[in-house]
């Protein structure tokens, strides 16, 4: 059994894989708390294992993290509970991905894992759309090279800012609207947020394709907020909730 962990700014996503399977048999999430200790995370991990009836027979584990202050803490928590070696996605870890940005070390571990997962499964060129705390669109060109990405404020951040900085607009539950314009406040916000982000994905894909000068063969989306938005896009976008975890599994196998 292999444990994969993607530490994001809002959530930590855990994926549990059997050694001969590329699809996680269990996915669990916990909130990202920057001030927790390794012991506190170990207790939460142990509770998840017990809740999901998962033993501790782990071959190994791998972490991608965009929260540097938690990376070593969470590694220690996994080692304490699972008793296995933990790989951290960073410079020097084999991933099979060529990165053609100005400073490859700046590319987040989550972007690397998502790109590796897409490279193994989809026709190129490919756009990987990760809708989490930030909305990120990565370009993998026809040669399998990570050519660059775009980063925008995520849907959750936008909704939080809207409710915090206005006097009369409420916090809402995110769901797809029935129309492109609303007749009440909640539907208005849903239309602007969900359809606005869907239009952004469609528009950015078209702009990137135009600059690339050749058709984008695959659009794939992942992340906690992707499902609702992708369903409202005009372009054909594959929704793969496991993409980053699958990429982590591939990286783990290259380094074990």
CATH classification for the domain delimited by 98-243, as one of 3.40.30.10, 3.40.50.300, 3.30.420.40, 3.40.50.970: 3.30.420.40
Residue 119 has phi, psi (to 5 degrees) of -60, -35
Give the architecture-level CATH label for domain 2-88. Answer: 2-Layer Sandwich (3.30)
The answer to whether domain 2-88 and domain 98-243 are alike in fold is yes
Domains of the chain by residue range: 2-88, 98-243
pLDDT at 151: 95
Mean pLDDT of all residues belonging to the chain: 92
The residue to which tokens 């982590």 are assigned: 248
At 4-40, the pLDDT tens digits run 999 999 999 999 999 888 899 999 999 999 999 999 9
Which tokens belong to 104?
């490859």
Task: Give the pLDDT score at 190.
Answer: 83
| Full-model pTM | 0.92
Q: Is 11 exposed, middle or buried (0-12, 13-18, 19+ CB in 10 A)?
A: middle
* pLDDT tens track for 123-160: 999 999 999 889 999 999 999 999 999 999 988 888 77
Residue with tokens 């965009």: 66
What is the distance between the alpha carbons of residues 142 and 58, in angstroms, rounded to a whole number?
A: 36
Check if the beta carbon of residue 219 is closer than 8 Å to that of residue 235: yes
- pLDDT at res. 220: 98
Catalytic option among 39, 102, 110, 242: 110
Q: Which residues of the chain have pLDDT under 50?
A: none
* Distance in angstroms (rounded) separating the CA atoms of residues 118 and 243: 7
* pLDDT score, position 175: 73
Please report the pLDDT score of residue 177 as a whole number: 78
Instruction: Examine the residue annotation and report whether 110 is marked as an active-site residue of this protein.
Output: yes
């Amino acid at each position: 059994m292999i444990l994969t962990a993607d530490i994001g700014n809002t959530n930590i996503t855990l994926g549990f894989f059997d050694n001969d399977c590329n699809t996680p048999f269990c996915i669990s999430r916990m909130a990202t708390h920057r001030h927790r200790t390794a012991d506190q995370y170990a207790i939460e991990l142990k509770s998840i294992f017990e809740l999901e009836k998962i033993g501790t027979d782990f071959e190994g584990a791998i972490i991608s993290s965009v929260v540097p202050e938690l990376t070593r803490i969470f590694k220690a928590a996994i080692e304490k509970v699972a008793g296995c070696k933990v790989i951290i996605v960073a410079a020097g870890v084999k991933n099979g991905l060529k990165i053609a940005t100005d400073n490859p070390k700046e590319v987040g571990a989550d972007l690397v894992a998502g790109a590796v997962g897409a490279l193994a499964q989809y026709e190129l060129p490919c756009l990987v759309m990760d809708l989490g705390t930030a909305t990120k669109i990565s370009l993998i060109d026809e040669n399998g090279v990570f050519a660059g990405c775009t980063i925008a404020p995520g849907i959750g951040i936008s909704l939080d800012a809207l409710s915090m900085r206005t006097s009369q607009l409420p916090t809402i539950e995110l769901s797809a609207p029935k129309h492109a314009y609303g007749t009440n406040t909640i539907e208005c916000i849903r239309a602007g947020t969900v359809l606005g982000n869907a239009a952004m994905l469609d528009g950015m894909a078209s702009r990137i394709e135009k600059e690339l000068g050749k058709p984008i063969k695959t659009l794939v989306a992942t992340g906690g907020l992707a499902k609702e938005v992708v369903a409202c896009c005009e372009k054909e976008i594959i929704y793969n909730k496991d993409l980053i975890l699958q990429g982590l599994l591939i990286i783990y196998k290259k380094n074990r």
